[in-house]
């Protein structure tokens, strides 16, 4: 029986506990470069067994949120190196989450005001990005009409993922997590209600529908190795107009088989129940475990009690906490000692400076 506070082997690394800090956009980098404040923020939370950074764009056109740090230019790589050095100095382990939002973007965020790109030209209904409003101020904006990538452009995006992974290792990250969840580009290919392509990435078979995801995984593995490569998925999720489809379970069990053969560092599930979407059924988790023979991380509305129950039942290997880490940089010790948790000020979640970012206190010990 595993405890939250037991060590675990992930890839070639031994994590000191089974608590991960889930990726969370904080929008503190208006120039797109991680800075000293970013380094402080992550190093304050490095008692987590694993830190997964905020979504990190792989290219200029991959962005869907203003003021987030990318990893496709030399200054960005240098900026992230400050972060990894600060986390490693405290004995922490840190992966970066590589992100392409696809159609969940707005022309005000795109280079030269071009249309966002996707697997499709279908707009994400009832969905918003964080761009420039009509008043020219940062804020929520309805997503723009996307343009479907050509087959040649799809191959170029795959190369962008691989290069971003290599950049991440250059910046000192212990590994990378591909963002294949929450309605972003990888899932836009995987979901047959969104993917209306006619080329080799079309959705008529599981093999074709999964081709983009697996080619991205394979390209990254080729550059940095399987043991430093992970992926986040959100089966049964509905964010950004994804929609549930008839063979969703079959799709993700097929993906599980394919990923299991590749020896990834881990697979990270996002349960979107906490985001108002469908939960991941418990029986599906059990089935996934029989198909994917590797480390499984689960995030979404996580509590200590829920995490320990999942660990006791052998359903997961690592529990990822998101929002609790914002206001509790010492979350691991608070959970270990059953100390009360602070609640974050959500008005300070995005943008700004140190307030609501690096100024949350640790628990006062007499």
Known catalytic residues? 184
Which segments of the chain does DSSP mark as H helices, in order?
Answer: 36-44, 74-89, 151-170, 185-190, 206-224, 248-260, 282-291, 304-312, 323-327, 331-337
Joined together, the tokens standing for residue 310 give 């999942």
The two most distant CA atoms of the chain are separated, in Å, by 65
Q: Phi, psi at residue 257, to the nearest 5°?
A: -60, -45
Which long-range contacts does 356-359 make (Cβ < 8 Å, 24+ apart)? Answer: 356/326, 357/26, 357/28, 357/37, 357/41, 358/37, 358/40, 358/41, 358/44
Strand duo 8-10 + 318-321: pairing: unpaired
Query: What are the CA-CA distances from residue 280 to residues 81, 108, 235 (Å)?
Result: 35, 34, 7
| Half-sphere exposure of residue 344: CA atoms within 13 angstroms, side-chain side | 20
**Helix, strand, coil % (nearest 5) of the chain?**
35, 15, 50
3-state SS assignment for residue 100: coil
The secondary structure of 274-308 as a DSSP string is: GGTSPPPPHHHHHHHHHH--S-EEEESS--HHHHH
Residue whose C-alpha is closest to residue 266's, from 29, 120, 49: 49
Q: Classify residue 301 as exposed, middle or buried by CB count within 10 Å of its CB (0-12, 13-18, 19+).
A: middle
Six token digits for residue 68: 């987030």
């Amino acid at each position: 029986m595993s405890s939250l506070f037991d060590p675990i082997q992930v890839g070639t690394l031994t994590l000191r506990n089974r608590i991960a800090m889930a990726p969370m956009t904080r929008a503190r980098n208006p120039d797109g470069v991680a800075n000293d404040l970013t380094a402080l923020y992550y190093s304050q939370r490095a008692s987590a067994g694993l830190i997964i950074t905020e979504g990190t764009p792989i290219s200029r056109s991959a962005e869907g949120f203003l003021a987030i740090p990318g990893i496709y230019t030399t200054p960005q790589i240098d900026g992230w190196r400050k972060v990894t050095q600060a986390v490693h100095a405290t004995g922490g382990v840190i992966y970066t989450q590589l992100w392409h939002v696809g159609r969940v973007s707005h022309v005000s965020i795109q280079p030269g005001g071009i249309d966002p790109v996707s697997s499709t030209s279908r707009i994400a209904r009832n969905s918003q990005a964080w761009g420039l409003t009509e008043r020219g101020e940062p804020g929520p904006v309805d997503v723009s009409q996307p343009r479907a990538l050509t087959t040649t452009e799809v191959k170029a995006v795959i190369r962008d993922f691989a290069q971003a992974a290599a950049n991440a290792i250059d910046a000192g990250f212990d590994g990378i997590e591909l963002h294949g969840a929450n309605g972003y580009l990888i899932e836009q290919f995987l979901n047959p209600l969104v993917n209306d392509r006619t080329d080799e990435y079309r959705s008529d078979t599981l093999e074709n529908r999964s081709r983009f995801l697996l080619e991205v995984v394979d390209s990254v593995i080729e550059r940095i190795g399987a043991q430093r490569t992970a992926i986040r998925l959100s089966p049964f999720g509905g964010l950004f107009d994804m929609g549930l489809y008839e063979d969703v379970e079959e799709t993700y069990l097929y993906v599980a088989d394919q990923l299991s053969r590749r020896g990834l560092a881990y697979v990270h599930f996002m349960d979107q129940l906490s985001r108002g979407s469908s939960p991941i059924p418990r029986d599906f988790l059990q089935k996934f475990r029989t198909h994917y023979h590797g480390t499984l991380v689960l995030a979404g509305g996580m509590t200590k009690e829920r995490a320990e129950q999942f660990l006791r039942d052998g359903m997961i290997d690592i529990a990822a906490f998101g929002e609790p880490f914002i206001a509790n940089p010492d979350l691991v010790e608070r959970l270990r000692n059953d100390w009360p948790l602070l609640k974050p000020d959500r008005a300070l979640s995005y943008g700004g400076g140190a307030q609501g970012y690096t100024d949350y206190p640790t628990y006062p010990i007499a």
